[in-house]
Structure 1
Amino acid sequence: MSGIIGRKIGMTSIFSAAGKNVPCTVIEAGPCVITQVKNEETDGYKAVQLAFGEAKEKNVPKALLGHFKKANTTPKREVVEFRDFRMEFDGEIQLGQEVRVGDVFVEGDFVDAIGQSKGKGFQGVVKRHGFGGVGQSTHGQHNRLRAPGSIGGASYPARVFKGMRMAGRTGNNRVKMVNLRVMKIIPEQNIVLISGSVPGANNSIVILEK
């Protein structure tokens, strides 16, 4: 499973080869630095740890500073591990090696995008679950349009079942969008355009997996 770490910039649209206008998410993917290489002999599995984004030294724990120093790189903001990483360029995977978006993806690839969705705070059932409210505003229903309605029985079952869809905290979850097509790669700017939407606000961290 190859992948790269990036930063969501925003959205745009481009025309495909068939002439269709395709909405795309613009992601600054990389360059990332290999900060650790795991193998079956010492760790029990194969994996590559990538780091992305510059961080101030005062904001990084000392143990992590030593980790980055071992890879001969500056402190990074985000560290992600990719199992069974495959490199599409020549040479062995080495500590401190730089990985760019063109090394992992080509135009036309299908990727999965992982991000942290926008937090919306405490919301009612209409916004959180798409409820339609309690009927129309007739027969005295003047303040029930966005109410959840009945949530349980009386004498039986005399309780509210677990998992009942009710109001609560919405958003701020790890979301994975699968099978998004790589529409365009701009290697000199480390930019990749993928079709569709990607969870998260602008400037948030996005993980792309192949």
Structure 2
Amino acid sequence: MTGLIGKNIGMTSIYLDNGENIPCSIIKIGPCYIVQIKTIEKDGYSSIQIGIDEKKIQKTNKPLIGHFKKAKLTPKKKLLEFKGVYNLYLGKKINIIDFFKEGDLVDVKGISKGKGFQGVVKRYNFSGVGESSHGQHNRLRAPGSIGAGSDPSRVFKGKKMAGKTGNKNVTIKNLKILKIDIHHNFIILKGSVPGNKNSYLMIKKKKWN
């Protein structure tokens, strides 16, 4: 296994033994189930598909219902694929204690919060044109010049300008697991993770034994 699926519960802070207060993220890991196993001989590559959280069968189409029936599972809300060869079987339940322990470093991948159409000050941390002096009017958050005039007579692709912000795949690396709650399948990570509350995350351990 190279990773598991988790759900962003929210943020809190905890005190370490030395009295330091640390901001933390709470993530619920699984329980996850093996929904599909792919092999090189049949599919051209090896991987497993993992599912999490129960989904109402009324909101699941017939092809997906048949997909889950092959693994003798009920429909799941979130599915992710992890490449690699694993000694697992369809329908196997994977718990948090099977992979993680306190002190592990993990990479967390998710979709960042969408913030709509934003200007360059919020989107790229521009400082704006400057103070409202020398006759400037409403220019505090303006981008300023975006290119030369006669040469090259155009704006280069990729220029940092206003546009849609957030709602992208983001990976936060090397987050430390401070605590594990086996009874509730919670892990507490040092720092923040991408996405809104109740959004799904891919949790990957840095080194798998």
Normalising by structure 2, what TM-score? 0.93
CA RMSD of aligned residues (A): 1.5
Preserved contact between residue 3 and residue 85 of structure 1 (Cα < 8 Å): no
Whether the aligned pair in 2 keeps the contact of 1:47 and 1:84 (CA below 8 Å) is yes
Q: Which of 165, 182, 187 is matched with 2:182 structurally?
A: 187
Residues 1:162 and 2:154 are matched in the alignment: no
Q: Does residue 1:99 correspond to 2:58, yes or no? A: no
Aligned to 1:25: 25
Deviation at 1:16, TM superposition (A): 3.3
2:203 to 191, 199, 208: 208
Which residue in 1 is equivalent to 2:39? 39
Q: May I ask how many residue pairs the two structures share in their alignment?
A: 205
Aligned mate of 1:134, from 115, 129, 138 = 129
- Once the two structures are TM-superposed, the CA of residue 59 in structure 1 deviates from its matched residue by 2.0
Kindly report structure 1 stretches of 4+ aligned residues shifted beyond 4 Å.
Answer: none
CA-to-partner distance for each residue in 1:87-114, whole Å, 9 max, x for gaps? xxxxx51110101111111111111101
For residue 33 of structure 1, what is the amino acid of its counterpart? Y
Mark the runs of 5 or more structure 1 residues left unpaired by the alignment: 87-91
Q: What percentage of aligned pairs have identical amino acids?
A: 53
SS, match of residue 183 in structure 1: strand
Farther-moved stretch of structure 1 (122-131 vs 44-53): 44-53
CA contact (8 A) 1:2 1:85 kept: no
User: Of 172, 175, 182, which residue of structure 2 is paired with 1:177?
Assistant: 172
CA distance in 1, matches of 2:18, 2:83: 36
Distance 1:18 1:37, change over 3 A: farther
TM-score of the superposed pair, with normalisation by structure 1: 0.92
1:152 aligns with 2:143: no
Retained in 2: the 8 A contact 1:11–1:23? yes
The question of 1:58 aligning with 2:58 is answered yes
Task: Confirm or deny that 1:15 pairs with 2:10.
Answer: no
Paired residue for 1:81? 81
